[in-house]
């Protein structure tokens, strides 16, 4: 079994090896969390396999799912294999993690499940069908678990993330995309991973006790800006 420190809060961060994951782990460590090392290693388990979550800690104060992949292809040419891969990582992995983590989240008394959604769920770009659909499903899962798990003291949250200051490793796209996003963002800035990490740490440490099932628009008004000039 994973390490269990009753006197210390415990975090499991799926997707800990990415840029955002590293920032989240750093913020949680600074806040005094013990972080399950299984997912901070390069040879971490495959998030799409149920057995990946067999050795979770006995108590989890915050369970965070950051894993995600994208496939850029026109809807009519998107392969079934690519569709399955995106859904398996973005949505099935979250389901498997949440299901296996439930006893440990319940054991913590007051705990949180936090996942990363995307502005693509509500403002999809062309050629990102699987990604947009999987993130919309993720938001539905977060809402449903808020209803089911609230009685156990488990709060659920999703961050509907705007453009980070760097593209996903799995996305092959026009390098001018981020410059165009900046031009259409009122502040001219993108989302910094450290800012996301600070917000996740705040949620993990209680955040607002009156909120669960929330889908938080973590975006500097890029998706709101419809000013045409």
Domain boundaries, the chain: 10-218
Q: Other C-beta atoms within 10 Å of 1: how many? A: 8
pTM as predicted: 0.93
Three-class DSSP category at 65: strand
Catalytic residue check, 199: no
**Kind and range of the H or E run holding 117:** strand 111-118
Q: Residues 33, 53, 65, 131: which is the catalytic one?
A: 131
CB-count exposure of residue 73 (10 Å: 0-12, 13-18, 19+): middle
Q: What is the pLDDT along the chain (229 residues), one digit of tens a residue?
A: 444 445 699 999 999 999 999 999 999 999 999 999 999 999 999 999 999 999 999 999 999 999 999 999 999 999 999 999 999 999 999 999 999 999 999 999 999 999 999 999 999 999 999 999 999 999 999 999 999 999 999 999 999 999 998 655 555 556 788 889 999 999 999 999 999 999 999 999 988 888 999 999 999 999 999 988 7
Residue 59 in tokens = 């108590």
CATH of 10-218 given 3.40.50.720, 3.40.50.300, 3.40.50.1980, 3.40.50.10860: 3.40.50.720
């Amino acid at each position: 079994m994973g390490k269990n420190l009753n006197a210390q809060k415990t975090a499991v961060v799926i997707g800990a090896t990415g840029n955002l994951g590293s920032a989240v782990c750093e913020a949680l460590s600074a806040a005094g969390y013990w972080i399950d090392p299984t997912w901070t290693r390069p040879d971490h388990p495959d998030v799409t396999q149920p057995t990946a979550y067999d050795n979770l800690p006995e108590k989890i104060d915050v369970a965070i799912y950051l894993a995600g992949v994208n496939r850029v292809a026109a809807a009519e040419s998107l392969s079934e294999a690519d569709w399955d891969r995106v859904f398996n990582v973005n949505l099935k992995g979250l389901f498997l993690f949440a299901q296996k983590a439930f006893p440990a989240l319940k054991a913590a008394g007051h705990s949180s499940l936090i996942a990363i959604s995307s502005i693509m769920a509500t403002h999809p770009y062309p050629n990102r069908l699987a990604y947009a659909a999987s993130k919309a499903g993720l938001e539905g899962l977060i809402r449903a678990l808020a209803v089911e798990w609230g009685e156990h003291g488990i709060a659920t949250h999703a961050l509907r993330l705007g453009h980070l200051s760097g593209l996903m490793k799995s996305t092959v796209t026009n390098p001018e995309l981020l410059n165009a996003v900046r031009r259409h963002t009122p502040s001219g800035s993108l989302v910094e991973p450290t800012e996301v990490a600070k917000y996740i740490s705040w949620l993990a440490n209680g955040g607002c006790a009156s909120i669960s099932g929330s889908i938080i628009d973590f975006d500097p008004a890029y998706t709101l800006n419809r000013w045409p000039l």
